[in-house]
């Protein structure tokens, strides 16, 4: 799971204590701002060392408790003043302090008074981070004494009524998107209850782990993460009646990029309600386990593969069907056709698996043929778990002919889940076998456990809910385009359906997802309503772009099997679009990371040269490295972006997987709200004006002036205040004007 909720800021200056609110209130020497992400410019004795957020949501009422650990690194007892930005409409519920002094008070300041404090701190400390919270209310309290050389806990609880959009209820903890971390970790857990069944919980900002307690009760957890992610924590849950196959909601974003400004981007989120999973017609599975027993599997890998196969057999329900195909240069199988699981067949299968020994070459083509040749058991969902640690060395070895043969032989539409063990695998081939059959590929690195990775995938394949889902438009006066993914995968228990795309209409567009529930067809409809589109949903176009770039890069990689040349017209078209999207949205790949370098000109005159450089890189790497660590790294990067379902403020799209198969972050690109900025010396330049970044701005605004805070208020009203939190000058487009914000000294 990706880490969440990074660090905490402790700000302070050695000036008199925070007193009455005025136009320029003084700043306390131990000022703690739990939701801002930079350490104080000057040392202070008391710092914030940990934060735990406990959230209780009942229907639309949220109670948030922040437990803050204050550590006094000085030699005398100290007082700390805590300022906590909170959503408008929040109210203080309780305050507890573990110290020996008097019980502190918590004062709720409305946003107009809070703004004076925000502006005063920004002016005094010459730090733009706090400007993000202009427009929010503020809770102010203090802790005394914090003993010398020790820590104390302060617990502050506030309550708020959450907004609801149809079946979706939204919650967030305001946090800074500032681009430096201090290493102090947040952790969080949330308990969500509703009078209606809860279909799913979604976070557009962070990865989460969800545990279902009952159909109307879920728990959500985010683990401690020092200095990794940042930005507001956003949760949404879908609750509604039990009728219908799926619950759904839409996040829409208006854009001048689409349909001449008459359209935008959308994210459709859907999930099966718990009651459906419990009451549905049971869909039995037919699982064919295909195990590589070539000589390269000898030793620990073969042992783990045998254990993985045994765990899969044990995980099947009574009456589900299975078979085992094992291959090296020859092909063998447990049974001529899949058999029903019972005590007898399971015992015989485990004995068969235990006898498998590794030797010989790797005949991938014939192994696939054996797994796909037999008609599927009627009334089942047919699945193949295909495992290999090598390249095809026996029989058919041509990548294109193998994948074409697999497609032709798969007359029963079996889902082929592929597992590549180690680096000596053809990652584009395994990826293609999976994606063209509505499945997924998994790559197991040398230090990883085969049994664990296979078992993780198989557990997710329990409880099919909807098979062969299709997304379609119902309205006749509007349309959607550029869907990601192009084809939907089967829906299993606990799955979320995420569809991204463009809508081209100023009127509501009704869309539908339909599929098979057992032997009958089910469907649900929802509406993409342009009137509900908001710039605050800036994560939607960024998420669409990252999936689109990944799909384009994967298309280039697949074309490499056919030897597409640099002069191929389709290749040029793909590269042009990869360069355009990488520049517009800051979605970097291993082939386009150089676009973020300061010495790379992105002017129109440089575009042919840039396209040629990317094309050469793609041809040499994406087409040339079919196997090895480089090929696996490329697939890992593509797969991570294709599977992305949220848009963290930390800049997920700046992360690429390098040849060492580890994530590398490119710090010269920032995604902020719905904008992308490229670093140019001490200046961050809006991607929309990169081709004319040297032109004179229409308006210049100096840090800390009245014009600066007027601009901050306008950006805050659009959900874009974080744009100003970047360190250095910021050159952006705001309300059709080119605005340069200068960090004057």
Domain membership flag for residue 722: no
Using the 3D structure, point to which of 460, 491, 525 is the last residue of a domain: 460
Is there a single domain that holds both residue 50 and residue 143?
yes
pTM over 0.85: yes
Task: Give me the pLDDT at residue 474, please.
Answer: 92
Is there a single domain that holds both residue 448 and residue 392?
yes
- Count of C-beta atoms within a 10 Å radius of residue 195: 8
Task: Give me the pLDDT at residue 726, please.
Answer: 85
* 537 CA to centre of own chain: 15
Domain membership flag for residue 742: no
Domain membership flag for residue 729: no
Is there a single domain that holds both residue 455 and residue 414?
yes
Domain membership flag for residue 713: no
Task: Give me the pLDDT at residue 11, please.
Answer: 29
Tokens found for residue 430: 């395994």
Is there a single domain that holds both residue 513 and residue 545?
no
Tokens found for residue 599: 């010495």
Domain membership flag for residue 331: yes
Q: CATH number for the domain including 363?
A: 3.40.50.410
Range of the domain at 480: 247-280+464-533
Buried b (16+ CB within 10 A) or exposed e, 543-569: bbbbbbbbbbbbbbbbbbbeebeeeee
Interacting residues of 696 by C-beta distance below 8 A, sequence separation 6+: none
For 316-340, the pLDDT digits (tens) are 999 999 999 999 999 999 999 999 9
Count: domains in the chain: 4
Residue 261 phi, psi (nearest 5): 85, 5
Is there a single domain that holds both residue 100 and residue 221?
yes
Is there a single domain that holds both residue 327 and residue 369?
yes
- Helical H segments across 355-509, by residue range: 364-372, 399-409, 427-435, 450-460
Using the 3D structure, point to which of 627, 653, 679 is the last residue of a domain: 653
Interacting residues of 249 by C-beta distance below 8 A, sequence separation 6+: 165, 166, 167, 168, 236, 238, 268, 269, 270, 526
Domain membership flag for residue 555: yes
Is there a single domain that holds both residue 416 and residue 343?
yes
Task: Give me the pLDDT at residue 244, please.
Answer: 55
Q: CATH number for the domain including 104?
A: 2.60.40.1730
Domain membership flag for residue 584: yes
Is there a single domain that holds both residue 585 and residue 472?
no
Is there a single domain that holds both residue 124 and residue 228?
yes
Is there a single domain that holds both residue 435 and residue 521?
no
Is there a single domain that holds both residue 227 and residue 324?
no
Q: CATH number for the domain including 499?
A: 2.60.40.10
Pair 338, 322: CB distance under 8 Å: yes
Buried b (16+ CB within 10 A) or exposed e, 476-504: eebebeebbbeebbbbbbbbbbbbbbbbb
Tokens found for residue 535: 């710039």
For 93-142, the pLDDT digits (tens) are 999 988 777 778 889 988 888 888 888 888 877 777 778 888 889 999 98
Which of the residues in the chain have pLDDT under 50? 1-25, 226-228, 279, 566, 652
Using the 3D structure, point to which of 509, 533, 557 is the last residue of a domain: 533
Can you tell me whether residue 142 is helix, strand or coil?
strand
Task: Give me the pLDDT at residue 20, please.
Answer: 37
Domain membership flag for residue 669: no
Task: Give me the pLDDT at residue 119, please.
Answer: 85
Task: Give me the pLDDT at residue 607, please.
Answer: 74
Q: How far apart are CA 632 and CA 139, in angstroms?
A: 49
Pair 112, 184: CB distance under 8 Å: no
- Say what percent of the chain tops pLDDT 70: 87
Is there a single domain that holds both residue 69 and residue 190?
yes
């Amino acid at each position: 799971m990706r880490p969440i909720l990074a660090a905490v800021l402790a700000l302070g200056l050695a000036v008199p204590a925070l007193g009455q609110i005025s136009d320029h209130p003084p700043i306390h020497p131990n000022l703690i701002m739990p939701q801002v992400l930079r350490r104080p410019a000057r040392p202070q004795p008391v710092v914030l060392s940990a934060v735990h957020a406990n959230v209780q949501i009942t229907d639309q009422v949220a109670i948030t408790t922040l437990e803050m650990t204050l550590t006094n690194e000085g030699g005398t007892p100290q007082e700390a003043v805590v300022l906590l930005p909170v959503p408008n409409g929040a109210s203080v519920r309780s305050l507890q302090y573990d110290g020996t002094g008097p019980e502190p008070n918590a004062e709720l300041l409305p946003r107009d008074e809070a703004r004076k404090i925000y502006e005063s701190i920004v002016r005094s400390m010459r730090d733009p981070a706090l400007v993000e919270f202009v427009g929010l209310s503020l809770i102010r309290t203090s802790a005394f004494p914090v003993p010398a050389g020790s820590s104390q806990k302060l617990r502050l609880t506030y309550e708020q009524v959450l907004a609801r959009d149809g079946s979706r209820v939204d919650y967030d903890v305001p946090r800074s998107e500032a681009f430096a971390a201090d290493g102090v970790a947040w952790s969080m857990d949330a308990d969500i209850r509703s009078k209606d069944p809860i279909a799913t919980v979604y976070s557009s900002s962070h990865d989460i782990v969800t545990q279902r307690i009952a159909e109307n009760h879920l728990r959500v957890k985010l683990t401690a993460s020092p200095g990794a992610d940042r930005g507001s924590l956003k949760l949404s849950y879908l609750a509604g009646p039990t009728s219908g196959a799926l619950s759904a909601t839409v996040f829409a974003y208006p854009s001048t990029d689409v349909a001449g400004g008459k359209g935008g981007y959308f994210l459709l989120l859907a999930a099966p309600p718990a009651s459906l999973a419990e009451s549905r017609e049971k869909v039995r599975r037919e699982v064919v386990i295909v195990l590589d027993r070539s000589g390269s599997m000898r030793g620990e890998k073969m042992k783990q593969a045998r254990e993985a196969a045994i765990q899969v057999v044990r995980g099947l329900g009574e009456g589900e069907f299975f078979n085992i195909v094992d291959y090296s240069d020859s092909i063998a199988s447990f049974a001529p056709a899949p058999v029903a699981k019972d005590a007898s067949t399971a015992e015989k299968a485990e004995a068969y698996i235990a006898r498998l020994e590794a030797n010989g070459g790797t005949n991938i083509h014939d192994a696939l043929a054996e797994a796909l040749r037999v008609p599927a058991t009627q009334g089942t969902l047919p699945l193949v778990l295909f495992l290999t640690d090598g390249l095809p060395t026996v029989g058919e070895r041509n990548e294109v002919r193998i994948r074409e043969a697999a497609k032709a032989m798969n007359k029963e539409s079996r889902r082929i889940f592929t597992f590549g063990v180690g680096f000596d695998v053809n990652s584009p081939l395994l990826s293609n076998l999976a994606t063209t059959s509505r499945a997924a590929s998994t790559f197991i690195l040398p230090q990883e456990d085969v049994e664990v990775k296979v078992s993780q995938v198989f557990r997710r394949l329990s409880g099919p809910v909807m098979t062969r889902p299709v997304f379609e438009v119902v309205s006749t006066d509007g349309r959607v385009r550029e869907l990601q993914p192009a084809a939907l995968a089967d829906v299993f228990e606990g799955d979320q359906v995420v569809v991204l795309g463009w809508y081209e209409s100023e009127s509501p567009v009704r869309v539908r997802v339909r599929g098979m529930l057992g032997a009958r067809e089910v469907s649900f409809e929802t509406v993409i309503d342009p009137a509900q589109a908001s710039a605050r949903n800036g994560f939607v176009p960024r998420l669409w772009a990252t999936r689109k770039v990944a799909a384009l890069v994967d298309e280039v990689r697949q074309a490499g099997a056919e030897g597409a040349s640099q002069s191929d017209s389709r290749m040029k078209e793909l590269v042009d679009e990869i360069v355009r999207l990488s520049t517009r949205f800051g979605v970097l790949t291993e082939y386009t990371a150089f676009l973020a370098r300061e010495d790379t000109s992105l002017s129109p005159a440089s575009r042919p040269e840039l396209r040629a450089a990317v094309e050469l890189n793609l041809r040499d790497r994406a087409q040339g490295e079919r196997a090895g660590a480089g090929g696996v790294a490329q697939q890992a990067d593509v797969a991570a972006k294709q599977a992305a379902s949220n848009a963290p403020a930390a800049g997920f799209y700046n992360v690429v997987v390098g040849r060492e198969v580890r994530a590398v972050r490119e710090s010269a690109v920032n995604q902020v709200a719905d904008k992308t900025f490229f670093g140019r010396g001490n200046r961050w330049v809006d991607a929309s004006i990169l081709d004319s970044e040297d032109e004179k701005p229409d308006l210049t605004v100096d840090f800390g002036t009245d014009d600066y805070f007027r601009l901050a208020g306008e950006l805050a009203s659009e959900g874009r205040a974080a744009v100003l939190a970047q360190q250095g000058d910021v050159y952006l487009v705001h309300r059709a004007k080119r605005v340069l914000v200068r960090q004057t000294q």
